[in-house]
A and B are shown apart, each in its own frame.
Chain A
Amino acid sequence: AQKITQTQPGMFVQEKEAVTLDCTYDTSDPSYGLFWYKQPSSGEMIFLIYQGSYDQQNATEGRYSLNFQKARKSANLVISASQLGDSAMYFCAMREGNFNKFYFGSGTKLNVKP
């Protein structure tokens, strides 16, 4: 079974609107971390936001927030007030316990329209 599933290969959003990128995960480990990364066309992977499995509150970092629904095993990224510079690939990732391996989803390509 896939550890991380991103079901939206591509999305469009109007500038200044909010957008939600979906991510579901699969694990039986009670301790895990969920991460979102942004990859612009230049290729570098930029760490955006982290959510821990024991965190009671949803993580927020500036315009990024994570809608964490533990029972549904979903960790959706919400970008508020989209900007043209938000156009990029976005990857959801998970790390279990103290294991070193990360599991990445297949990514969502976001296009912000002016």
Chain B
Amino acid sequence: DVKVTQSSRYLVKRTGEKVFLECVQDMDHENMFWYRQDPGLGLRLIYFSYDVKMKEKGDIPEGYSVSREKKERFSLILESASTNQTSMYLCASSLTGSNQPQHFGDGTRLSIL
């Protein structure tokens, strides 16, 4: 069965901290994605990766970076957390092809105080 695991369901951090959100998938998918979801704004793509060590910016990459050292793991990094990064963060993975759905983790509700 498909499984995407995000390291934390809820996370509280302080302004200025470096924050790591981890995502692991066990489906050997080449593509992995990070989104943030805010009320009224839907899902917005932050970064995605189509292979190990490869990444592409999404729609809102400012203030974020990512790391993909292994195929199964995709990390989102908030270099210096700010209160406007309080949000729900969703990780997803997929195979390549227009018929391939994304499979999502349970999400991380991140609060920056």
A: residues with CB less than 8 A from B are: 31-33, 35, 37, 42-47, 50, 52-53, 91, 93, 95-102, 104-107
Contact = CB atoms under 8 A, between A and B. Distances in A.
Given A44-B105, A44-B106, A47-B103, A101 B45 contact: yes
A82 to B, nearest CB: 23
Contact of A100 (B42, B48, B99, B107): B48
Nearest to B30: A100
B77 to A, nearest CB: 20
B100 A43 contact: no
Contact of B98 (A32, A91, A104, A105): A32
Nearest to B42: A106
- Which of A47, A96, A102 has most chain B Cβ within 10 Å? A102
B109 interface: yes
Interface stretch (B19-27, B65-73, B78-86, B89-97): B89-97
Nearest to A29: B98
Contacts of A37: 104
A98 B99 CA distance: 9
Main secondary structure of the interface of B (DSSP, over half): strand
Contacts of B99: 33, 50, 52
28 contacts: A31-B98, A33-B99, A33-B100, A33-B101, A35-B101, A43-B107, A44-B105, A44-B107, A45-B92, A45-B102, A47-B101, A47-B103, A52-B99, A93-B102, A95-B100, A96-B98, A98-B98, A99-B98, A100-B48, A100-B94, A100-B96, A101-B48, A102-B45, A102-B102, A104-B42, A104-B43, A106-B40, A106-B42
A92 B104 CA distance: 15
Nearest to A96: B98
